[in-house]
A and B are shown apart, each in its own frame.
Chain A
């Protein structure tokens, strides 16, 4: 048996087992935190609704960098031969985006905000240009938190 082949299969199965375990755990955690922060509203509209009292507006940012595991990269590489939807990366992007939004919400919640408006999301690939570089993607979410000013 070829040593390279053994290493390759080991990496592939490690990527699959750990990648899938992490993904499930991450999705569960995302869902829990989303539920916990349901009260903090998020909108992509530019203008906040008219507020009854005085408010403070602050920029809040959340970001998340995710890396592809070996299994996902391999499947995506094969998918590149045939074209079509790269399903192995879709869950990853979904996780990264929701995580970034959650971190933004977390920051806003700590400021005591009730709402975040004009939310924008940016995605960028921060892996090198080298063909064999393992990919990683950064997702950044930012918006304006509306914090009711303390009375008295």
Chain B
């Protein structure tokens, strides 16, 4: 499964356009990490716990999008975009979407 945010894959041709596929998840970190993040706001610096949270969420959202693409017979998702939003305090939604396509087989090496 090729996942990319460009529209044209060099050397490959799009055979079929299958429309939008989406993946999303809502995630929260446990209260302890929320409190630690609160302390971090005093001193500044990277919020490791939240970086991790967003990465986990992105990973899961991508998996869900890929699952949708597979289910409709695509072999690539192009023009992928991410959208993140904070739904309530401490919970973030990660949303990813793109166009599922069927690409032709790569040309044999000349």
Report which A residues bind B (CB closer than 8 A).
41-47, 49, 68, 73, 76, 79-87, 89-90, 93-94, 97, 101, 119-125, 127, 131, 135, 137
A46 and B85 contacting across the interface, CB-CB below 8 Å: no
B25 touching A121, Cβ below 8 Å:
no
With contacts A42-B20, A86-B91, A89-B91 taken as known, whether A80 is within 8 angstroms of B28 at the C-beta atoms is yes
Q: How many angstroms between the C-alpha atoms of A86 and B29 in the bound complex?
A: 10
Q: Are A76 and B30 in contact (CB under 8 A)?
A: no
**B26–A90 touching, CB < 8 Å:** yes
- Known: A45-B7, A45-B79, A84-B28; 10 extra A-B contacts, CB below 8 A, are A46-B7, A79-B91, A80-B30, A83-B29, A83-B30, A89-B26, A89-B93, A93-B24, A135-B88, A137-B93
Report whether B81 and A86 are in contact in the complex, using a CB–CB cutoff of 8 Å.
Answer: no
Residues of chain B contacted by A83 (CB below 8 angstroms): 27-31, 33, 53
Separation of A119 and B95 alpha carbons in the complex (Å): 14
Selected contact of A41 from candidates B19, B78, B87, CB within 8 Å: B19
Contacting B22 at CB < 8 Å: which of A45, A81, A90, A97?
Answer: A97
**CB proximity to A under 8 Å, residues B1-39:** 7, 17, 19-20, 22, 24-31, 33-34
Q: Are A44 and B30 closer than 8 Å at their CB atoms? A: no
Which of A121, A124, A137 meets B97, CB within 8 Å? Answer: A121
CA of A93 to CA of B24, assembled, Å:
8
A80 touches B34 (CB 8 A): yes
A149 to B81, CA, bound (A): 31
Min CB gap A85→B, angstroms: 6
Does A43 contact B20, Cβ atoms closer than 8 Å? Answer: yes
